[in-house]
Amino acid sequence: VAIFFLAFLPQFVETGAGPISAQLFLHGILIIIVAAFIEPPLILIGGKLTGYLNNNRQVSQWMDRGLGALFIGLGIKLATSDRI
């Protein structure tokens, strides 16, 4: 995560807009504030969806089949690739 922010945040820093450390600090705080409002609803929705998918055997079976087909397809693509 730290490497991502070290690569992501500097592109939003302007040299004439004040101290660079203050700008980076402000951008970091803004990301934390936005994440505090966005992530909790996503976690709650994901928890409910996980419960539904675990309790519904038919949906779970179709997901297993779909992911199995996806892995087989990716394996075939990898096996037939001319890059090693």
Sequence spans of domains, the chain: 2-80
Averaged over 12-19, what is the pLDDT?
Answer: 82
pTM over 0.85: no
Q: How confident is the model at residue 69 (pLDDT cuts 50, 70, 90)?
A: very high
Query: Tens of pLDDT along 37-63?
Result: 999 999 999 999 988 888 888 988 898
Cα–Cα distance, 60 to 77 (Å, whole number) = 26
Three-state secondary structure call for residue 1: coil
Query: What whole-number distance in Å separates Cα of residue 77 and Cα of residue 82?
Result: 10
The mean pLDDT value of the chain amounts to 88
Task: Give the relative orientation of helices 57-80 and 20-55 as an angle to the nearest 10 degrees.
Answer: 120
Residue 84 to residue 78: CA distance in whole angstroms: 9
